[in-house]
């Protein structure tokens, strides 16, 4: 797996976690 792909995957994963946290709080 390419380092660039890992970086993009991690960024998307963190974005999803942030959205889920917002939906849980509000």
Q: Which two tokens stand for residue 5?
A: 């792909």
- Predicted TM-score (pTM) of the model is 0.60
Give the range of the structural domain holding residue 22, as residue numbers without chain letter.
Answer: 1-26
The confidence score (pLDDT) of residue 19 equals 95
| pLDDT, tens only, 1-26 | 799 999 999 999 999 999 999 988 76
CA distance 5 to 26: 32
The confidence score (pLDDT) of residue 8 equals 97
The confidence score (pLDDT) of residue 26 equals 67
Q: How many residues does the chain have?
A: 26
DSSP secondary-structure letter at 9? H
State the chain's maximal CA–CA distance in angstroms: 37
3-class SS string, 1-26: CCHHHHHHHHHHHHHHHHHHHHHHHC
Provide the number of structural domains found in the chain.
1
């Amino acid at each position: 797996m390419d380092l660039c792909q890992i970086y993009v995957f991690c960024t998307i994963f963190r974005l999803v976690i942030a959205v889920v946290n917002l939906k849980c709080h509000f």
